[in-house]
Structure 1
Amino acid sequence: MFKRGCGLEFLLVLCGLELSWSCPRHCICYTAPSTVSCQAHNFLSVPEGIPVDSERIFLQNNKIHRLLQGHFSSNTVTLWIYSNNISYIEPSTFHGFTLLEELDLGDNRHLRSLAEDTFHGLSRLKALHLYHCGLSSLPNNIFQGLRNLQYLYLQDNHLKFLQDDTFMDLHNLSHLFLHGNRLWSLNQNTFRGLKALDRLLLHQNKIEWVDQLAFHDLKSLTTLYLFNNSLTEVSGPCLDMLPSLEYLRLNDNPWSCDCKAVSLWEWLKRFRGSTSSVGCRVPQNMIGKDMKELHKEDFPNCSPTILNSESRAQTNNLSGTVNPSMNRGVAVGGQTHIVHPSRPGRSRNCTKPRNRASKGKGDNEVHDSTEVMADKEDSSPDFTDGRKHDHTSPDGTVTLRKQKCPPRTTVRPPSGVQQANNRASSSQFPSHVSALFVALLAIITDYILR
């Protein structure tokens, strides 16, 4: 029977992969692409002898304690060092790594702090994994210059607070995973700059306060998870700033269903996307009820219309958008018809099907580095652990989205206008015939007399 290493080498040769002659002991090295695989060998430090031309380096599931400058070369494109014992990363370890696209440092529970410039210069980095570490804070400008980053995994750490503009440079970030931390508030500029963000996961934190302008830059956000926090209220104008939102989970929070809930209740009535239940905890007569199922009569001493219109006007003035509570007049057929504002939710092209190409995984990848999302027209994603799920509702059942686009109908003038025009045409017809007959008779008479 072959030893594990020899057996893998034999399989690589059978597959036509060229083995490298320069390779660290106990590792497997091959070309096309140039790869060094040293996983699960109980290494206490980065092994020596890694070829400088290595594009992919796999060091996961070892016991490596430190990462220092010179351990890797700047030719590295993919570097996996997850599930080790890393407690220290020298700030200059990755300086000059302009080709690096994926860096996985996840599941290093002793990695409690990072220097501000640890990731500076990684201009091509697309995925950064820092999940399940011991991070309690993030230094200023730690993500500075990472303009190509698309996936940032920060879940299952000990983060209590996010400084303003932490993500300011992440113009292309589409996935931000922050669930499983200890965050208690979301400030006005916590997410500033994230204009391309599609999915934001904040569940399983301790969030009890959300600034009304916390989501002001998230115009592309389609998925927001806030379940299992300490929220008692969120204002409707706060969620009005998410015009593309399709999936929202608010369950397992101690919601207050008194007058403070009016603006959220009104927003939920307008929202056309998919939402979880919003269970009431107070007052006493509301315990166990779903806020979405309440009626105007359940708020007898509140003023829903005034409260909603005033707060939304303030929000839209700040964000530079038109106040949707104001009706706009459009002249049609000499009369002014009221055009009601559209409900919150992503605009749809109802004439063309939407096709989305899913991102495939590499043949040698061992763990999930990115989610592969199902088409959102069919089901809602669930990212309770940062990986792909196919169920929609909190109870795990699969539900299908209802078609948002109504059948197209031909636009015609109002029936009254149509009938008036027809009557006018029919009434004018005899006079034209009479005039023509008189003219013809005069011509014939004149011809005979001559």
Structure 2
Amino acid sequence: RSLVNGTFAEVKDRMFSHLPSLQLLLLNSNSFTVIRDDAFAGLFHLEYLFIEGNKIETISRNAFRGLRDLTHLSLANNHLKALPRNVFSDLDSLIELDLRGNKFECDCKAKWLFLWLKMTNSTVSDVLCIGPAEYQDKKLNDVASFDYECTTTDFVVHQILPYQSVSVDTFNSKNDVFVAIAQPSMENCMVLEWDHIEMNFRSYDNIT
């Protein structure tokens, strides 16, 4: 029920899905730089996950998706400077999180983590800052300027259009909103019109 120090070059999606009963996974002292989405998919009973002493710089937003039984997570001694927003949102059972040995950019991108640290019931190691300069070697908890300096916006995909384009521009005509999509490689320009009933853009004209 445990896998200790497998020598892996990277953590790919669903890499351990053939081991559904795994409870403890140690991936220490490898040379990972990235943990991808759904890297631990299928490990429904995993309780302990230690990924220490690697070279991790990037963790995908859904890297820990599905690990609802995980109680202990260590990402200590890696090269993390930032974490994607709400990366721990699936970890309903998390008791302890270790982020020691990483130094974070404590700018606006870290605001979500700052707020999460204040709200979580988990025990979390100190999160140290490498920047900005005024916060170097201080704890993220001690950053006091987020409330009035940061405005964050979550973008949601509204409509996907099947066009490749070098530029997109909007314009108004007779109180309607239009979008022009330039496609010089196709020798045309698609014009879309906002549909107030369907609440999306529909094809209006194609200028060759």
Structures share fold, TM-score greater than 0.5: yes
The one-letter code matched in structure 2 to 1:248 is: L
- Partner residue, 2:101: 252
- 1:172 paired with 2:53, answer no
Which protein is richer in helix relative to its size?
1
- Partner residue, 2:33: 184
- Partner residue, 1:293: 142
The one-letter code matched in structure 1 to 2:150 is: C
- 1:196 paired with 2:45, answer yes
The one-letter code matched in structure 1 to 2:80 is: L
Show the 5 A alignment for 1:373-384: none
- Runs of 4+ aligned structure 1 residues displaced above 4 Å come to none
Question: Contact conserved, 1:236 with 1:266, CA < 8 A, in 2?
Answer: no
Q: Provide Cα deviations, 1:142-166, integer angstroms capped at 9, x if missing partner.
A: xxxxxxxx111125x4x32123222
Q: CA deviation at 1:254?
A: 2.3
Show the 5 A alignment for 1:38-53: none
Question: Contact conserved, 2:111 with 2:146, CA < 8 A, in 1?
Answer: no
Q: CA deviation at 1:224?
A: 0.4
TM-score normalised by the chain length of structure 2: 0.70
Which of structures 1 and 2 has the larger relative contact order (alpha carbons within 8 angstroms, sep 6+)?
2
Q: Provide Cα deviations, 1:406-430, integer angstroms capped at 9, x if missing partner.
A: xxxxxxxxxxxxxxxxxxxxxxxxx
Show the 5 A alignment for 1:5-24: none
* Aligned mate of 2:67, from 218, 229, 234: 218
Alpha-carbon distance between aligned partners in 1 of 2:147 and 2:57, rounded to the nearest angstrom: 23
The one-letter code matched in structure 1 to 2:131 is: V
Alpha-carbon distance between aligned partners in 2 of 1:224 and 1:263, rounded to the nearest angstrom: 19
Q: CA deviation at 1:291?
A: 0.6
How many aligned residue pairs are there?
157
- Partner residue, 2:3: 152
Question: Contact conserved, 1:245 with 1:273, CA < 8 A, in 2?
Answer: yes
Structure 2 CA distance for partners of 1:261 and 1:248, relative to 1, 3 Å: same
> Gaps spanning 5+ residues in structure 1: where?
1-149, 315-450
Q: CA deviation at 1:294?
A: 2.5
Q: Match of 2:130, SS?
A: strand
Percentage of matched positions with identical amino acids: 31
Q: CA deviation at 1:298?
A: 4.5
Question: Contact conserved, 1:258 with 1:299, CA < 8 A, in 2?
Answer: no
Q: Match of 1:237, SS?
A: coil
- Which of structures 1 and 2 has the bigger CA Rg? 1
Alpha-carbon distance between aligned partners in 1 of 2:55 and 2:63, rounded to the nearest angstrom: 16
* Aligned mate of 1:209, from 45, 58, 62: 58
Question: Contact conserved, 1:236 with 1:267, CA < 8 A, in 2?
Answer: no
Question: Contact conserved, 1:281 with 1:287, CA < 8 A, in 2?
Answer: yes
> Gaps spanning 5+ residues in structure 2: where?
158-208
The one-letter code matched in structure 1 to 2:96 is: Y
Question: Contact conserved, 1:259 with 1:299, CA < 8 A, in 2?
Answer: no
Alpha-carbon distance between aligned partners in 2 of 1:275 and 1:162, rounded to the nearest angstrom: 24
The one-letter code matched in structure 2 to 1:222 is: T
